[in-house]
C-alpha cells in the first residue's frame, strides 16, 4: 500500500528535477545569447564606416587603430626625450642607457657625437642640471610610415643661473616587439635628427 508520503517524495523529486532543468537551460541560453551578441557587435565594428572631411569612407576599425598607435607613439617619444635630455650628474648614465633602448643607431651616433664634443663632461664637471619643462610631438601616419616632429623645452641650471632652450627633433618610428621594461610601447626611433636648438632666455637669481 502506497502512503501519501511516498507520493509527496516523488512529486518533490520531480519538481526538483524540473527546476534544475529550467535553471540549467536558462543559464545555457544566457551564455549563448551573450556569445552571439558579442559576435554581432564584433562584426558590426568591422563593417562600420565613417566619412572624413574630404568625403572619404574609412573603416572605423582603422581609425581606432590609428588613434591607438598615435597615443603610443607620443608616449614613446615623451619617454625617450625625457631620458635623453633630462639629465644631471646623478642620473646621466642610467638615463642614457634607457634612451638607447628606444632608438636605432642614429640615437647611438648622436650620443657618441655629443660625448666627443665634451657636452656630457661639462655636465658632470660643473654639476649642471638639465630639466625638461614641456614636450610636444606631432605624428604623421602616411603610406605605412610614422613620421614625427617633437618640440622639447628644457632648462640648464648652474648654481643660481638658469638658461632655457627649445630643441626641435624629427625622425620616424618603426614597430617592433614589445620588450618590458626596456621598450613597453613596441616602437623604435630611427633617422633621429636634431633640427634646431634655440635659446629662449637666461635668468640669474640674486640674493638680497
Domain holding 90: CATH number?
Answer: 3.10.450.230
Q: Is the pLDDT of residue 103 over 50?
A: yes
Residue 62 lies in a domain: no
The 3-state DSSP class for residue 90 equals: coil
The Cα–Cα gap between 80 and 111 comes to: 13
| pLDDT score of 149 more than 80 | yes
Say whether both 13 and 91 belong to one domain. Answer: no
Residue 187 has pLDDT above 90, yes or no: yes
Mean pLDDT of 108-132: 94
Residue range 124-136: average pLDDT?
Answer: 94
Residues 91 and 167 in one domain: yes
Bridge partners of residue 142, in order along the sequence: 145
Please indicate, yes or no, whether residues 106 and 171 belong to a single structural domain of this protein.
Answer: yes
Q: Do residues 38 and 141 both lie within one domain?
A: no
Q: What are phi and psi of 141, to 5 degrees?
A: -110, 100
Residue 111 lies in a domain: yes
| Same-domain check for residues 157 and 192 | yes
Same domain, 39 and 85: no
CA atoms within 13 A on the CB side of 11: 5
Q: List, for residues 38-91, the tens digit of each pLDDT value.
A: 655 555 444 444 445 554 444 445 556 677 899 999 999 999 999 999 999 999
**Cβ(152)–Cβ(132) under 8 Å?**
yes
pLDDT at 14: 74
Judgement on whether residues 32 and 94 belong to the same structural domain of the protein: no
Give the model's confidence band at 36: pLDDT under 50 very low, under 70 low, under 90 confident, else very high.
low
The number of distinct structural domains making up the chain is 2
pLDDT of residue 55: 47
Residues 142 and 193 in one domain: yes
pLDDT tens-digit map of 189-201: 999 999 999 999 8
Q: Under 8 Å CB-to-CB from 116, ≥6 apart: which residues?
A: none
Helices (H), the chain: 4-46, 60-85, 92-100, 105-116, 119-125
The range of the structural domain enclosing residue 155 comes to 71-204
Tell me, yes or no, whether 61 lies in a domain. Answer: no
Buried b (16+ CB within 10 A) or exposed e, 114-147: beeeeebeebeeeebbbbbeebebebeeeeeebb
State whether 103 and 12 are in the same domain. Answer: no
What the block records as the C-alpha cell of 93 is: 648614465
85 and 172 inside one domain: yes
Task: Check whether residue 22 and residue 113 sit in a common domain.
Answer: no
Q: How confident is the model at residue 159 (pLDDT cuts 50, 70, 90)?
A: confident
pTM for the complete prediction? Answer: 0.71
pLDDT bin (cut points 50, 70, 90) of residue 4 is low
Amino acid at each position: 500500500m502506497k502512503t501519501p508520503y511516498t507520493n509527496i517524495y516523488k512529486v518533490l523529486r520531480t519538481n526538483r528535477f524540473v527546476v534544475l532543468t529550467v535553471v540549467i537551460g536558462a543559464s545555457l541560453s544566457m551564455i549563448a545569447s551573450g556569445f552571439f551578441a558579442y559576435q554581432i557587435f564584433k562584426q558590426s565594428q568591422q563593417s562600420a564606416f565613417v566619412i572624413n572631411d574630404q568625403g572619404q569612407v574609412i573603416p572605423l576599425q582603422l581609425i581606432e587603430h590609428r588613434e591607438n598607435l598615435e597615443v603610443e607613439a607620443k608616449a614613446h617619444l615623451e619617454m625617450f626625450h625625457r631620458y635623453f635630455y633630462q639629465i644631471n650628474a646623478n642620473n646621466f648614465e642610467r638615463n642614457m642607457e634607457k634612451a638607447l633602448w628606444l632608438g636605432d643607431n642614429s640615437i647611438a651616433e648622436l650620443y657618441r657625437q655629443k660625448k666627443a664634443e665634451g657636452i656630457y663632461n661639462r655636465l658632470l664637471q660643473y654639476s649642471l642640471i638639465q630639466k625638461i619643462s614641456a614636450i610636444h610631438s606631432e605624428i604623421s601616419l602616411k603610406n605605412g610610415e610614422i613620421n614625427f616632429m617633437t618640440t622639447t623645452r628644457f632648462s640648464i641650471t648652474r648654481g643660481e643661473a638658469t638658461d632655457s632652450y627649445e630643441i626641435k627633433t624629427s625622425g620616424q618610428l618603426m614597430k617592433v616587439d614589445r620588450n618590458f621594461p626596456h621598450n613597453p610601447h613596441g616602437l623604435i626611433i630611427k633617422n633621429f635628427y636634431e633640427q634646431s636648438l634655440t635659446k629662449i632666455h637666461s635668468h640669474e637669481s640674486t640674493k638680497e
